[in-house]
Amino acid sequence: MCNTKSSFLISATINDVLIGYILGEYINLDKLNSDKRHTDGRYVCYITYIHVVDDYRNIGVASNMIKFLIKLQKQNIDGIMLTCDTSNNRLVRFYKKLGFMEDIMFRTYSRFETYYKYL
């Protein structure tokens, strides 16, 4: 894991070859909206992108990277957040299996929904 004050990168490798990654940032939700619509003060890891190369999918690489992130940051953050295309049923199922749920504070009622997992 590569970790800075505002962002992180988790990589999964086999024999030094990159097979997957999670890119994300640390966000204080208080500072997200100037209109004060979302001011619950959660400090979260926001997953910007997650990717696993085709040949290594469906063997738990992405799940393990998320579990690794949780284990590492459990003491430091309130939860993990991401936005996902709700028309991608497999992806939604993937996140729900890992304990994510729709975030009512950020409900968009559009094709893209915000999902959250409390830690």
Contacting residues toward ligand COA, per CB under 6 A: 49-52, 57-63, 88, 90-91, 93-94
Closer residue to ligand COA, CB minimum distance, 39 or 57:
57
Q: How far is the CB of 41 from ligand COA (least distance, A)?
A: 26
Q: Which is nearer to ligand COA, 29 or 52 (CB)?
A: 52
Q: How far is CA 6 from CA 3, 23, 24, 25, 30, in A?
A: 8, 11, 9, 6, 15
In the complex, minimum distance from the CB of residue 50 to ligand COA, in angstroms, rounded to a whole number: 5
Strands 101-102 and 112-118: antiparallel
Nearer residue to ligand COA within complex by CB, 27 or 91:
91
Q: How far is the CB of 69 from ligand COA (least distance, A)?
A: 13
Residue 24: what residue type? G
CA gap 68, 100 in Å, rounded: 15
Residue 71, classed as helix, strand or coil, is helix
Q: Of the two residues 31 and 93, which places its CB atom closer to ligand COA in the complex?
A: 93
Q: How far is the CB of 36 from ligand COA (least distance, A)?
A: 28
47 contacts: CB under 8 Å, gap ≥ 6: 22, 23, 24, 66, 80, 81, 82
